[in-house]
A and B are shown apart, each in its own frame.
Chain A
Amino acid sequence: MKVEQISIFLENKSGRLADVAGVLAQSGVNIRALSLADTTDFGILRLIVNDTEKAKQALKENGFTVGKTEVIAVEVFDRPGGLADILNIIKNNGINVEYMYAFVRKNSGNAIIIFRFDELEKAIETLQKAGVRILKGEEVYAL
């Protein structure tokens, strides 16, 4: 039920994103989803890729600070209120969202939302009970 996400520390210097993309391209890693959090001084790039270990290794070899965390991917129906329904479930159960980002699935047209929770197990249990579809890691890596 969990998806592995890698995160990369980036200083706010021009060209650093291109450097990351270049390293991944060279090692033949495909990016599935990404989000960038930025502050005045630095940014944190979060990525889901088709081969987490390979990506992590390649980035570390090129001198990047890389972390690995577990997130979950939830499928949201492409209709008004689709996201609101899921966020309400989370809210009503007192679970805090650390951050989230979304992308659209190619074949179904549905949205996939990546959630980062501190209480990961509790979030999975709650969402499953409410009948929300949580994607398996393999499904996301192979998208």
Chain B
Amino acid sequence: MIWNKEFETLPRGELEALQLERLKNLVERVYSAVPYYRQKMDEAGVRPSDIKTLKDLARLPFTTKEDLRINYPFGLFAVPFEKVIRIHASSGTTGKPTVVGYTKNDIDSWAELMARTLSAGGAYKGDVVHNAYGYGLFTGGLGAHYGAERLGAAVIPISGGNTKRQIMIMQDFGSTVLMCTPSYALNIADVMKEMGVDPLSLKLRVGLFGAEPWSENMRNEIEKRLGIKAIDIFGLSEVMGPGVASECIEEQKGLHVFEDYFIPEIINPETGEALPNGEQGELVFTTLTKEAFPVIRYRSKDISRLITEPCSCGRTFYRMQRITGRTDDMLIIRGVNVFPSQIEHVLMGIKGVEPHYQIIVDREGALDVMEVQVEVSEDIFSDKVKALEGLGKRIEREIKDLLGTTCRIKLVEPKTIQRSEGKAKRVIDNRKL
């Protein structure tokens, strides 16, 4: 169902007119309220009055995570501090976290966007939304929470962790919609199996998964194991949190970007040059309505492309292809670009292979060596050595076919790869570069 028919199906011409009006307003606001943005624009020789068409967006300088760090914690806020009613921050595994703020209007927009997301994913008023995204500084939990309330669903604010208890609550409370990271969804499926809980005995109907890149085969696996529809949702805290883009349940093919709130662009990550629609590159977002923490051309580091063909669901928003990787989790193995999601795609395509894997990169002498650890489940186990060795060789061959680089498959005992309760750790890079 379409939550906001008026805006989500706006004819492209009207949508672009609205975007331009909002963009002009944004640039003026930011220029006058945030000294850092003003300085950057002055250095680039652009003034707010130069923004006459949507194409002029490309004249504005990018905003990067580094800019956010320099202005830690509140330097890029564009409203007086007393207007801020919420603060979130990224996990900040490297250095200081990046901090974002929201006004009352921003929180209101966010709830609208997440209500749209849930609605696009097939959730309704009256659903029981099992929200296993982490609550706290991370935007996932509260973002999804407000959207589900706006939709009129009953939210279970369970957050991540304690999987057995989550499953008990799903059974007892009759959860119909699951929200969490895709890797945690698989963890839940595993624990259900261990507990002897048949997923089909639950009322679970659909899951909205995001916050980490995942593959089409992983989607198939989740859908099969949990007996639900799995919807890809997308967002990033610097831009809003979840609710930036979402798949529709009709197509499950690309995520509609809520373009009345955000302008997406695709750029060449090396040169910064804006790429034509349809080409693959780094996603860049400009927020059109945000008050407390607007961003101009924020570089997401996520790799995608924009799909401009109309969608059968009726939304006129362009779609972004599911994230295939991030510019910063791209591994360079002997000169070849490798994304963990590509390896995942190969593994999930082989029947019986567990969706838990880890990639370990080492340097032996001058050579990069990539090892992929795969758990041996009962489905692929054999009492014959040649059968297991054959499986390892088959995975190695398929990875080589896809990536053009060799790897070593190491079969490991079940449960030896750490289970995700949020974002999965897929890569251990031991190279000292």
Contact = CB atoms under 8 A, between A and B. Distances in A.
A associates with B: yes
Interface of A: 5, 7, 9-11, 16, 37, 39, 41-42, 44, 46, 63-67, 69, 98-99, 116
B225 interface: no
B416 interface: yes
A98 B384 contact: yes
Contacts of B410: 41
Nearest to B380: A65
B376 A116 contact: no
- Most chain B beta-carbon contacts within 10 A, residue among A5, A9, A16: A9
Given A37-B385, A44-B385, A63 B411 contact: no
Contact of B411 (A9, A64, A116): A9
Nearest to A66: B378
A44 B413 CA distance: 11
27 contacts: A5-B383, A7-B381, A7-B382, A7-B383, A9-B381, A9-B411, A11-B416, A39-B389, A42-B376, A42-B388, A44-B383, A44-B385, A44-B388, A63-B413, A63-B414, A63-B415, A64-B413, A64-B414, A65-B376, A65-B377, A65-B414, A66-B378, A66-B381, A67-B381, A67-B382, A67-B383, A116-B383
Interface of B: 376-378, 381-385, 388-389, 410-416
A65 B381 contact: yes
Contacts of A46: 383
A52 B385 CA distance: 21
Nearest to A5: B383
B362 to A, nearest CB: 15
A14 to B, nearest CB: 14
B193 to A, nearest CB: 12
B377 A99 contact: no
Contacts of B383: 5, 7, 44, 46, 67, 69, 116
Nearest to B377: A65
Nearest to B392: A41
A65 B413 contact: yes
Nearest to B411: A42
The B interface is mostly helix, strand or loop, or mixed, namely loop
A18 to B, nearest CB: 15
Contacts of A116: 383-384
Contacts of A65: 376-378, 381, 413-414
B234 to A, nearest CB: 35
A116 B383 CA distance: 10
A22 to B, nearest CB: 15
Contacts of A11: 411-413, 416
Nearest to B384: A98
A10 B413 contact: yes
A119 to B, nearest CB: 14
Contacts of A98: 384
A67 to B, nearest CB: 5
A7 B388 CA distance: 13
Contacts of A10: 413
Nearest to A41: B410
A98 B376 CA distance: 21
A99 B384 contact: yes
Contacts of A67: 378, 381-383
Given A11-B412, A44-B385, A67-B378, 6 more contacts: A44-B383, A46-B383, A63-B414, A65-B414, A67-B382, A67-B383
B413 A9 contact: yes
A104 B361 CA distance: 47
A66 B382 CA distance: 9
A67 B378 CA distance: 7
B385 A39 contact: yes
Contacts of B384: 44, 98-99, 116
Nearest to A6: B383
A101 B300 CA distance: 59
Contacts of B411: 9, 11, 41-42
Nearest to A116: B383
B19 to A, nearest CB: 54
Contacts of B415: 63
A17 B388 CA distance: 19
A11 B382 CA distance: 14
Contacts of B388: 9, 42, 44
B382 to A, nearest CB: 7
A98 B388 CA distance: 14
Contacts of B389: 39
Q: 8 tightest CB-CB pairs across the interface, nearest first?
A: A7-B383, A9-B376, A65-B381, A69-B383, A67-B381, A37-B385, A11-B413, A65-B376
A65 to B, nearest CB: 5
B412 to A, nearest CB: 6
B237 to A, nearest CB: 36
A124 B381 CA distance: 25
Contacts of A9: 376, 381, 388, 411, 413
A5 B384 CA distance: 12
A69 to B, nearest CB: 5
B375 to A, nearest CB: 8
B387 to A, nearest CB: 10
B396 to A, nearest CB: 13
B393 to A, nearest CB: 12
A76 B383 CA distance: 24
